[in-house]
Amino acid sequence: MITPTISEDRGVIVFDFGGGISFEARHVRRHAVKGVIAELRVSDAGCEDTTVGRAWLALDDQAQRTRLLADLRSRDGKVPNWGDMLLLVADHLAQRADEAQAPAKGIRASEVKRRPVRWLWRSRIPAGRVSILAGDPDVGKSMITCKLAADISSGATWPDEGLAPRGRVAMVTAEDDLADTVAPRLAQHGADLDRILLIGPQDCGGYILPDGLVPLEERIGELQDSPGDPVLVVLDPLDVFVGRVDTHKAAEVRGAMAPLEALAQRTGATIIGILHLNKRSTETTALYRVGASLAFVAAARSVVVCGYDPEDHAELQHERRRIFTNLKGNLGPKRKALVYRIEDPGVVKWEGESDCSVSDLLTAGAQTKKGGTAVDEAKQFLGSLLSYGPMPANDILEQAKAAGISAATLRRAKQDMGVRAFRRGEEGQRGAGEWLWELGCDHWPEGEIDQRWAFCKERGAEVAECSCCHGPQPSPPDEWDGLCDVCRDGAPHQVNGTARMKARL
């Protein structure tokens, strides 16, 4: 049996048996159920079609190995010992997978093989890493991803400088229909549609992490002709695909994002996840506007935000200019913001650079206090986090510490804002559960209480005033505790109390 020469480059292990015969193994890992799995490509330079076999293989599964061997022998019968070669490859990969599971011993800095940063879009989106595109609804986030996909598929020119690397794209969307939305947008942006793989709302469930990592890696491998070829993966929206995690909890978000970053580095694919900005428009610390947890921003190597240009006051919103700029980009120098418009029928048109800052973009129209105290900053921080509703107190304290806000300052802000703390646990289990914080009724959306009173007066309902939020309680019972239904239920402030009152009446 010939001993192969084994080499490795960017996660691809090559077994060269001589005579033009080689095995390439990619994406090697140990699966909890299937054992060691890998993508194998078998080549024989002496054949007209040099690739004589290619398959995803559970190497411990004899039936799968037998099928691959039968395929190899039918295509290339002149090689007598395919079985011995496959066993040798399987044994080596099993050993590698076991080593990968062992705790790392570390490496001397002098031994690290250094390499330059690779870019999909220079100084904006790094290649082979996870990035985030964030923005409020209706600013064109999905249209921008279609524009990026079209430019990558066709090798178009970026709006600032340089050419997009011509590659392939996988777009996984849980929201937009492929037939009437995604495919038409790609065509309108001049995409090479044969180079773009689409996975729509009906099929995207199989790509939710952590189980979705395997099929996602398979799709990336199928799109690459050779390891490291440019591939753009779009996950829209990202928080759907991180799996069953509490997106308010930093530890859970980090645990979901880390394997995604590892997948990007292993395959060389660029992964862009789309996120909405949170609803607290008065937040002045831009990092806290992205998603429900700061951990999303921390895990991504680049975060790009888009929004309406605060200097454009056009009467019709859809006619306003929009801004595309980096909120985070720690792998290269920061570039100027870009201006774009959405033209009918939903086409992104770039219009040059802008001096608009991220802070100006995200706080446009917000009523903030300039030069506020540490407590004011803590109030803005709390309001941003709790705008989604109740959140575990421990997670709030952890994120406050990361933001440089002391526990004492945070608790002072909590007291000033009337933030309510309550315990959520299992009935009958003493000490079980956890403490949560939520915004008090003083933070109802502006005009909400007035709307509730006006509605009750229109209906002529008998009402009493709530001692907590000072809103109306229609048809109060004889033994009334003084709280309206909304306050008694402990509902978060963004729940529409008027809608609930209409349902009651």
> Pairing mode, if any, of strands 231-236 and 347-354?
unpaired
Query: pLDDT digit string (tens) for 430-475?
Result: 555 678 888 765 545 545 566 667 767 766 667 777 766 667 777 7
Q: What is the DSSP letter of 197?
A: E
**pLDDT score for 371:** 43
- Over residues 144-163, mean pLDDT: 94
Our CA angle for 408, 399, 397, nearest 5°, is: 40
d(CA 307, CA 310): 9
Q: What sign results for the dihedral spanned by CA atoms 49, 55, 59, 64?
A: negative
* Count of other CB atoms within 10 angstroms of residue 304: 25
**pLDDT score for 369:** 36
**pLDDT score for 246:** 80
Give the Å distances, CA to CA, from 426 to 208, 268, 423, 434, 476: 29, 45, 10, 10, 31
Report the percentage of the chain scoring pLDDT > 90. Answer: 29
Closest C-alpha to 420, from 436, 398, 444: 436
> Pairing mode, if any, of strands 196-199 and 12-18?
unpaired
Query: pLDDT digit string (tens) for 202-250?
Result: 999 999 988 888 899 999 999 998 888 999 999 999 988 988 778 777 7
Q: Give CATH 1.10.10 domain extents, the chain.
A: 374-439
Give the tokens for residue 416: 């000033």
Number of Cα atoms under 13 Å in the Cβ half of residue 217: 24
Residues whose CB is less than 8 angstroms from the CB of residue 66 and which lie 6 or more positions away in sequence, other chains included: none
Closest C-alpha to 16, from 36, 2, 1, 37: 2
Write down the mean pLDDT value for the chain: 81
Q: What sign results for the dihedral spanned by CA atoms 12, 16, 19, 23?
A: negative
Residues whose CB is less than 8 angstroms from the CB of residue 2 and which lie 6 or more positions away in sequence, other chains included: 17, 18
**pLDDT score for 404:** 73
Q: Which of 242-251, 317-326, 365-374, 413-422 has the lowest mean pLDDT?
A: 365-374
Q: Give CATH 3.40.50.300 domain extents, the chain.
A: 119-362
Number of Cα atoms under 13 Å in the Cβ half of residue 342: 24
Q: Is the pLDDT of residue 127 over 90?
A: yes
Query: pLDDT digit string (tens) for 32-75?
Result: 666 778 888 898 888 877 888 888 778 778 888 888 888 888 88
What amino acid is encoded at 390 in this protein?
A: P
Q: Which residues pair with 347 in a beta bridge?
A: 343
Query: pLDDT digit string (tens) for 265-281?
Result: 989 999 999 998 875 54
Backbone angle region of 482, left / alpha / beta, with phi > 0 → left and psi within -120 to 50 → alpha: left
Peptide bond preceding 345 in cis form (omega within 30 of 0): yes
Q: Where is mean pLDDT largest: 21-30, 108-117, 290-299, 353-362?
A: 108-117
For residues 283 and 385, the answer to whether their CB atoms sit within 8 Å is no
- Over residues 358-362, mean pLDDT: 79
Q: Which residues pair with 38 in a beta bridge?
A: 57
**pLDDT score for 256:** 85
Helix then strand then coil, % of the chain, to nearest 5: 35, 25, 40
Q: pLDDT band at residue 302, thresholds of 50, 70 and 90?
A: very high
Report the percentage of the chain scoring pLDDT > 70. Answer: 80
d(CA 107, CA 351): 47
d(CA 254, CA 244): 13
Give the tokens for residue 462: 């008998």
Query: pLDDT digit string (tens) for 130-146?
Result: 999 998 888 899 999 99
For residues 140 and 322, the answer to whether their CB atoms sit within 8 Å is yes
For residues 149 and 234, the answer to whether their CB atoms sit within 8 Å is yes
d(CA 183, CA 173): 12
Peptide bond preceding 126 in cis form (omega within 30 of 0): no
In the block, tokens 């290339």 appear at 76
Residues whose CB is less than 8 angstroms from the CB of residue 492 and which lie 6 or more positions away in sequence, other chains included: 386, 388, 389, 390, 438, 439
119-362 fold: Rossmann fold (3.40.50)
For residues 282 and 141, the answer to whether their CB atoms sit within 8 Å is no
d(CA 117, CA 6): 27
Kindly report the pTM of this predicted structure: 0.59
| Domain over 374-439 is classified CATH 1.10.10 | yes
**pLDDT score for 499:** 47
For residue 104, with 0-12 CB atoms within 10 Å meaning exposed, 13-18 middle and 19 or more buried, which class applies? Answer: exposed
Helices (H), 6-81: 62-75
Dmax over CA atoms of the chain, in Å, equals 94
Q: Is the pLDDT of residue 101 over 70?
A: no
Give the Å distances, CA to CA, from 145 to 172, 185, 272: 11, 10, 9
> Pairing mode, if any, of strands 231-236 and 168-173?
parallel
